[in-house]
Amino acid sequence: MDIQFIFLAIFLLVVFYYDAFKQVIPNWLNVIGVLGGLVINLLVGSIDGLLFSFLGGLVCGLILLVLYIFKALGAGDVKLFIAIGCISGVLFGLYALMYSIIFAGVIGVLYLIFTRTIFKQITLSVIHMKESLQKKSLTPMDEFKKNVATKFPFIYAVLPGVAVTYYYMIILGGN
């Protein structure tokens, strides 16, 4: 296992603790992830490694920034993926993001099924969407997301997303 992925695993376990139990990812932790990724990749790959790391953080950060603008996730999650990109590069970061989003959807649906609230949530979301369209305003949808929608820490989806990415890209070697 490369040193980048050992660092990534330790970093994500610490992030998991903070996000799952304290509902926050501290900025200092993300700074450690970003700087650690930059330094490790610089040491391992010289200037090319630094560029690899910088581009990983930049691309992952820009994509997550769009999701943040649409209030799909928090600022801590954006900074988390900047760190993941800096540690692992663009391709790994993007695959990790894709798998994390898939896992988030699966976790959300399973939660709604097991709490038997899926039909209520779907009905309320349709009502709020209809109201948003009628008023030509996103306020009803924002209120739904803020007050009604089911939320859970994104790290619950990030850990399996990164694990699956590691399995397919590193263990199986599929780029």
Please report, as a single letter, which amino acid is at residue 92: F
In whole angstroms, give the CA distance from residue 30 to residue 84.
9
Domain holding 25, by residue range, is 3-171
The tens digit of pLDDT for each residue in 48-107 reads 999 999 999 999 999 999 989 887 788 999 999 999 999 999 999 999 999 999 999 899
DSSP state, residue 103: H
DSSP state, residue 115: T
Q: Over 90: is that where the pLDDT of 142 sits?
A: no
Domain count, the chain: 1
The tens digit of pLDDT for each residue in 123-141 reads 766 776 777 777 777 665 5
In whole angstroms, give the CA distance from residue 91 to residue 56.
8
What's the whole-model pTM score? 0.82
